[in-house]
Structure formats: structure tokens, C-alpha cells
Structure 1
Amino acid sequence: MDIDCLHHVALPCSDLERSRRFYQEVFGLVEIPRPALPVAGAWFRIGNHQELHLVVGDPHTTFRGTKGMDSNDIHFAVRVKDYREVLDALKAKGYRENAHPNDPMSIRTSMRVGYPQIYILDPDRNIIEINAVSTG
């Protein structure tokens, strides 16, 4: 198998409009056309070739529930060019490093893998890692 790239990540959401706003306002993602499917959702472009697919899901089967921030739990990661710029932008939107891990506005930072990482939760408590080559 000669894999070219990761094509998309699909995430469950309970409120499509709330999630749509989050990914547009926090990450600046642009929504792309989505085929007519039997379940509600939205697709976004990430970078040049990858996509994020939001799918309205069954709250009893696919959601993390009330789980807090745990960087070892299922998550996806995006790489950014400027770590400091992203950290400052998140803080300007109300995210806080000193917030409780269950707080939806919590930021967790780490350098444990050799590059800087930021972890945040989306409105349905899906974990997102934002990383960069350096803190630079």
C-alpha cells in the first residue's frame, strides 16, 4: 500500500451550526462542498489536500461525553507555522492555560515529544492538537 497522505478526519458533532462556527472562527477553516448524504454534516479544507468532516452523530455512541483534556485520548493534530501566534490568538479568544482540564476553554501545552504542542477541545469535547516545528 503506497499511501499518499491522510485524506480526512471525521468527527462527530451534536450541534452542526455550533461546530461549524467553531472551526471557522477558531481555526479559520473554509467550508467546501459536500455531497448530499443521509446524515447532516459539513466538510472543511485543511491545508492543501486534507479535509475535516463533521458528522452529526448519535450522542450515545460516538461522543467523549464529559471527559476532560487528555492528550493520550483520541485526537487529531494540525501543524502550524507560528506556535506563538496561534497561542496568542487562542488566548485572545478566551482560552486559558490555567483552566481546569474539563473547562471547554482550557489550553494544555507540552514539549514532551520534542516540538511544541497545544491541546484544545472543540464544542463536543473532541481533542485537537496544534503543533509547530518550534516555539519560534
Structure 2
Amino acid sequence: MIKYKSLHHVSLNVTDLEKAKDFYGKTLCLKEIERPDFGFPGAWYEIEGQQLHLIVDPSSQTLRSDKQLSSREGHFALRVESYHETLTWLKENNVEVLEKPQSKSGFAQIFCADPDGNLIELNVDQKDL
């Protein structure tokens, strides 16, 4: 069984970062926060303890015909209590996973997809591994 702590962040793909930042920052009045340098453009926002991550990815698909797991496609994230117990549970249930325990983000990540290809991230703070 997986034991959850909270929703961590929602990630959305955008095509024009400046227009997106104008909308999320100025129109929706969200506070932009520091983002690690992942080597591709994007922006992070803080929303009452949760986050919204914008990712510029010109190859993004609205309806994913390629079901390959990717941490750069739009996804939502859930904070879990145990990385290893969650990973074990998913593998025992024959769920394909993409493991990123040492992500530059600062949290250990497990990516998987639902039957339609919608991506889900399950994570813990790396210090809690």
C-alpha cells in the first residue's frame, strides 16, 4: 500500500515562456520561486505550500501517442512517505517506472503512467531516502 503525505506540484507544458509567466505571475498573481537549472526553459510558482511548474517543451503532446515515460511531459506529483516502499509496490503490481532518485530537483522521483499515458510523479525529499 502507498501512504501519501500531500500533493506536491502540478506541471504543465507551455510554448511561450514569457507569455505564460505574464499570465501566471501577473494575471493570476502567483509568486515565482527559484528553479534549478535543468538545461531547458521553465518557471516554478508557489501556491500555498504547493507548486506549479511550467515547462517549455516544443515536442510536447496534448494526447500522448507515445506512451514512453518522460519526466518532461506534463504530470502531477504526489508526495509519498517512502520512496522504496512505493517503488516496491509499483513493481509488485507490474507498473512500468522511471526512477530518478538523484534528480537535480532535490527530490527522489518515480514516474509512472496511467493506462491512458497520463504521467504521475511520486516523490520524497532526497534526504528522506
TM-score (norm 1): 0.44
Structure ranking higher in strand proportion: 2
TM superposition score normalised by structure 2 = 0.46
